Every structure is written in C-alpha cells, then in structure tokens.
C-alpha cells in the first residue's frame, strides 16, 4: 500500500512528519510513502529512503487559509497534489497534519464521495476514562455544519463498520448524541434521526446519549450532526487540557511541602496526561470518500504520525471502504 | 423579596434545601421564603421559622417525569404550586433543584414570557480556568432544541444584561459559539445569527468562539442554540468530572511513595476540584420569563442552595427583568 503524505502540513512539519513516516516504514514492510512538499527541505531530513519517494510541491496551504478557496487556488500545494495522486490511483490513502477544513475539502472535492453516501462524515476517536476498551468514536465531528436525518443514519452505519473493522469491536454500541436520554427528546433533526437509526436492524442502537456520559463509555460510536459533534469534540479536548493545566499551575502555587508531594506523585499524573491525550487514539478519518483521508493533530509529533499510519494501514488491510460500498450501493439501488 | 421554593426537588431534598434556605435567611434580612412540599416532612427540619412559611403540596415531580406532562398532570406538586404562587404575585422568584425540564416548562407555561421575548433561554455559569473573573455565561444551555437566528440575537441581549447586572461586568464580551472563528464559518443558523448580532451596536460582539476556548475565558457570554449549548455544557461538566476522577483513581493505583506524595499535594488538588465545581457559580437562570426561575444542580448541598439564593437576590435587587422589558418592548413596538 502507498500513502500520499502532505509533508508540509502541521506545526512541526516537515520534521515530525518525516520522522513518523520513517518509524512506520520501519515497522510495516507493506507500507510505502510518497512525501509531497518542498523536496529541498524534506529530503535532507530522511535518514533512509527505503520505500519513501518525493514529489515537489511549490505551495503550502496554511492554517488560516480559507479551505475551499485554498484547494481551488493553490493547485501546486502539497495537499492538493497529494489528494490528486490518490484520486488518480497512484496512492491508496491521504494523510495530513495541516488545515482540517482544507483536508476535508480535498477529500470531498478532489477524491469524491462513494456512490450512495449522502455526506461523508469526520470520525474522531476520543478517550474513555473508565474502561479497558479505551476510546469511543464520534462522528460527524465537523465535516457538515447543516445536516439531515438521513446523514446521521449513514454516519451510524459507517461508524459501526469502522468500530468493527479498525477497533475490533464485534457488535459496537451506537448512541445518538442528544439533549436527554429519553426516546422523545431532542430537536426535529435528532427525533427524525432516532427513528431512522432505531428502525435499522443492522445497528446495535443503544438510544440517545448525553455528552456528559461519552467519556464514561456509554457507547462505542456516538452519532452527531457535524455542528454539535464539532462543538462537543472541542469542549472535551479543551476541558481536559484546561484541567490538566490547572493541576500543573497548582504545583507552581504549592508550598515546598506540596511541591515535594507533587514531585512524588508526578509519574501518576503523567499517566493521566497521556491517557487524556487525544492524539494517542490516532487521527480523524473522513468516512464516505473513495479513499481513506486521515487528519492527525496539527501539533502531532513523530509518535502520533506513526500511530496514524498504523491506523491507515488497518483501514486499508481490513478493506473498510469496500464495506461502505456494499452497504450504500445496495441502499442506492433499492431507492432507485 | 419573597422566594417560592420547591422544597422537594433534588437528590438531597428537602434536607439540604431547608439548610440552604436558613443560611440565606440568616445572611440576608430582606429575603423571605415560602417552602412548598410535604409540610410534615419539611417543618421539623427548620430550626428557626423566622421569615420562612410553608405551603402543603401533596405531589412531587421526580427526575424521570416527562416535563410538560408532569406540569399539566401533577397540579398539586411542589413545583407547580410554587410556580403558581409566582404567577399570582405571591412570590417574586421560583427556585428548584429538581427536574430541569419540568422547571423550564413551569417557567414557560405557568409564569410566561416577557412581552417581546421570542424564546426564553437558559443561562448557565461555568468556570474559566485562567482568569480572575472566574466564569463565563452560556446561553441558551438547554431551553430550546430548535432555534432561529432571532432567538440567538435575543440571547445575546439578555446575556449582556445578566453579565452587567449580576456579575458587574461593565461591557461584557459577547461571543457566538461556532465551529470556527472566522466570520463566514458555521451552519445557516449561526451565519444568520452572526449577522444579527454583529449589526447590533448595543453589543460588544467579539465574533465567533469555539467551545475549546470557553474555559479559557475567550468571552464573558457565549451565545448558542439550546441544543449545542446543552451538549457543550454537559461535555465540559462531564470531562472536568472524568479527569478529576482519573486523578483520584491514580492515587489509588499509586505505590506507597506516590500515595504519600498525593497526600502532601492533596490540599492543592482540592482547590482545583472546588474551582471546576460548576455549582460554585450559582444556578441556571431561565431568562425571558416574567420572574426569575432558577435551577440549582440536582446534587446541590446547603452551600449551593445558599449561593443560588444570593444570586436570585442580586437579580431582584438589580432589577434585571425590567431591563429586558425595556429592551424588548421597545423592539416589539418598533416592529409593530
């Protein structure tokens, strides 16, 4: 398998992207990488060019570029050229740590939807505090600001296949993010989506779930409209980070006795920090486009890039996308 | 001022409600309380009946009652009778720690909207981690599942007056909760609401804000549709609580050396726990109805009930509702 890598996207690019790619190359013999970017800059960073090739890209899409405009205008950017390589079958998946909106736009506009998928959805994996399984999936976590009930039903189906295939959960529990757990609760959108999802016998639907229970593992896959999903994702990340900062600051403010205590307790606190770190759970995946399009955090280090490459490898090896094609093409034919 | 108290609502009712009421009565000579509930149960808990009276209510609305049905059918419940006392002018504000939905329904259906207010919104106060000011307001945090841009504009206006009057912030920074900070970002709803809010010269609008920045104090008042606001509120509360549990569990899992360290550091950790505790910031207020309708957490202790009574006292003493009446009646007349 060959991965098209936007080597210029992200806060630590291209250094940490290159390091992560080399780590993945060393670990997985079936993986090849094409690095898109300023070859002059990238090539000297690569220690061993085995299964790594380079494609020159003169432009870079930066964080504050307007996504759709950037995709249309910066045709020589590392992201656009990498996406085109996937579209043309020269690579099997697209990876970037850069501008999320631009990556979504590249996935939607350049790589394109799978037939029968109404709207691709962005799937994120977040930590579960109390459980051995370690995480839950949230989708749509930001691809669609305006949503219809049918999109949410498809997110449930795609989330189920992802959790089965990539996370190895046999019969994933699907929850619908709502403002109460009772079946009648919610907006017109969630009430209609509840009907559609509950009537689908292929889904192990556990009903409505509330955002406060997500990090306690109330479901394996939480389905949301992309606006609310995005807000919840950012609220969870922001709050976890804010509380960890409070802990850090409280060490500074402690007296000598307290500081000594904190030092002795520190290894345990570091474990928590690692546990709530979302990048540990891999990248966000745009589900419903014709190839895996995967976004790692802008601040990703080499280890996170490596984890995300491992995740992409599983998606490809387990043929996740063929499951979508089968599910939605049948549905499409039934409707037509 | 006289407060109608649903003495039966909440996990620790009536005990902690009564204790909190007595604390507030001792602190504020201008406050009187009418406790609605099972007088047999409540009266023996009251140590001193000064400025406290009782009204018998045979029924109780419980947590899993369906709100609107409960309001209509349980006409002898402590909540319904307390709301009616407010409606009929026998009391100036309504307080409950019980079923939130039922309290909202009581506010909307029994006490009623202020003329010119399209939809009352629920205002919550949440902690800001990094700032001296200590908190931000989020509204609507759950009264309206389906929203129009005009509602969000009114939430901004009501939130401004609340922050000015109750929190003493001269020129509160109003943010619109959105899935990106750029002005063009968002759903159809937030794009239209952005226009309305940005065109209102009476508002100090700081533009779009993201949920991850709320606990860092990016604005004093965050305006949201009630569905997203509710999801963000619960995500922040759930995550803060989950991380604090992780810290607690990690003490259990520590070796003797780590445990000793945790013990020495504990006073500092307790301060954080207190700081992220939402009940410290008072109750949630339904803004836009004809009297203050205030909800304290279901798990409120006497101290939280006391804080919330203090908050109600400020709302009444500062004449918050007369500001709404002036603002929206003028608007109403201009439109007609």
Going from the C-alpha of B38 to that of each of B35, B192, B303, the distances in angstroms are 9, 48, 22
What CATH number did the domain enclosing A176 receive?
Answer: 3.40.718.10
Q: Are B102 and B181 in the same domain?
A: no
Q: Which class for B260: exposed (0-12), middle (13-18), buried (19 or more C-beta within 10 A)?
A: middle
**Contact at 8 Å (CB) between B138 and B170?**
no
Domain co-membership, A150 together with A239: yes
Residue of B nearest to A254 (CA): B268
| Tens digit of each residue's pLDDT (9 = 90 or more) over A133-179 | 578 999 999 999 999 999 999 999 999 999 999 999 999 999 999 99
In a domain, A322, yes or no: yes
Token pair of A124, please? 């994120």
Q: Are residues B68 and B135 in the same domain?
A: no
pTM (two decimals): 0.92
- Give A226's contacts in chain B (Cβ within 8 Å): 179
How many alpha carbons fall within 13 Å on the CB side of residue A118?
Answer: 16
Q: Report the alpha-carbon distance of residue B30 to residue A313 in Å, rounded.
A: 69
What mean pLDDT comes out for the span B213-227? 95
| Number of folded domains that form chain A | 2
At residue B72, the pLDDT reads 94
* CA-based nearest residue in chain B for residue A147: B187
Same domain assignment for residues B226 and B327: no
Q: Are residues A24 and A94 in the same domain?
A: yes
Query: Is B210 within 8 Å of A241 (Cβ atoms)?
Result: no
- Decide if pLDDT at A272 tops 80: no
DSSP B172: P
Are both B85 and B224 inside the same structural domain? no
B129 to A211: CB separation less than 8 angstroms, yes or no: no
What does the pLDDT read at residue A258? 79
As to burial, measured by CB atoms within 10 angstroms (0-12 exposed, 13-18 middle, 19+ buried), residue B53 is exposed
Using the predicted structure, report yes or no on whether residue B141 has a pLDDT greater than 70. Answer: yes
Between positions 3 and 62 of A, the ones with CB within 8 A of B are none
Pick from B130, B238, B267: CB nearest A258: B267
The Cα B119–Cα B152 span in angstroms is 9
**Distance between CA A8 and CA A117 in Å, rounded?**
30
* CB-CB under 8 Å, B214 with A238: yes
| Residue A283 within a domain | no
pLDDT on residue A336:
47
Residue B53 structure tokens: 């009276």
Judge residue A163's burial from the number of C-beta atoms within 10 Å of its C-beta, 0-12 exposed, 13-18 middle, 19 or more buried: buried
Predicted pLDDT at B335: 53
Q: How far apart are CA A51 and CA B320, in angstroms?
A: 68
Same domain as B162, residue B98: no
Is the ipTM, as predicted for this complex, more than 0.85? yes
Size of the A and B interface in Cβ pairs below 8 Å = 196
CA distance A178 to A186: 6
Check whether residue B319 and residue B192 sit in a common domain.
no
Same domain, residue pair A84 and A102: yes
Same structural domain, B128 and B217: yes
Structural domain boundaries enclosing A154 = 122-278
* B271 and B293 assigned to the same domain: no
Name the least confident of A327-336, B176-185, B315-324. A327-336
The values of phi and psi at residue B114, to 5°, are -70, 140
Option in B146, B241, B258 nearest A265 (CB): B258
Q: Are residues B147 and B178 in the same domain?
A: yes
The reported pLDDT for the residue numbered B271 is 78
Is B283 contained in some domain? no
Which of B232, B251, B278 represents a domain boundary (last residue)? B278
pLDDT for position B336: 47
Token pair of A8 as six digits? 């210029």
């Amino acid at each position: 398998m060959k991965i098209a890598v936007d080597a210029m996207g992200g806060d630590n690019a291209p250094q940490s992207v290159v390091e992560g790619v080399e780590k993945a190359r060393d670990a997985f013999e079936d993986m090849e990488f094409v690095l898109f970017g300023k070859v002059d800059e990238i090539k000297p960073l690569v220690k061993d060019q085995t299964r790594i090739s380079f494609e020159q890209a003169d432009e870079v899409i930066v964080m504050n570029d307007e996504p759709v405009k950037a995709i249309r205008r910066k045709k020589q950017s590392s992201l656009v050229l990498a996406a085109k390589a996937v579209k043309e079958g020269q690579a099997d998946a697209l990876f970037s740590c850069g501008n999320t909106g631009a990556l979504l736009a590249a996935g939607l506009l350049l790589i394109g939807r799978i037939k029968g998928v109404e709207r691709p959805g962005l799937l994120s994996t977040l930590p579960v505090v109390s459980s051995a399984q370690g995480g839950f999936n949230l989708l749509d976590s930001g691809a669609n600001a305006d949503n219809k009930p049918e999109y949410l039903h498809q997110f449930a189906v795609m989330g189920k296949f992802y959790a089965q295939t990539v996370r190895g959960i046999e019969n994933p529990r699907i929850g619908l993010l709502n403002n109460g757990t009772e079946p009648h609760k919610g907006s017109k959108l969630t009430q209609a989506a509840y009907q559609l999802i509950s009537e689908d016998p292929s889904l192990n639907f556990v009903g409505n779930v509330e955002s406060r229970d997500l990090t306690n593992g109330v479901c394996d896959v939480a389905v949301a409209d992309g606006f609310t999903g995005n807000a919840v994702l950012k609220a969870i990340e922001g709050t976890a980070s804010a509380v960890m900062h409070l802990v850090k600051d409280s060490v500074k403010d402690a007296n000598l006795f307290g500081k000594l205590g904190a030092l002795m307790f520190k290894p345990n606190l570091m474990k928590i920090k690692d546990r709530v770190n979302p990048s540990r759970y891999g990248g966000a995946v745009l589900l419903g486009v014709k190839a895996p399009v995967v976004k790692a955090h802008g601040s990703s280090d080499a280890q996170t890039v490596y984890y995300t490459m491992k995740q992409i490898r599983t998606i490809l090896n387990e043929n996740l996308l063929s499951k979508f094609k089968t599910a939605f093409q049948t549905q499409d034919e039934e409707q037509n």
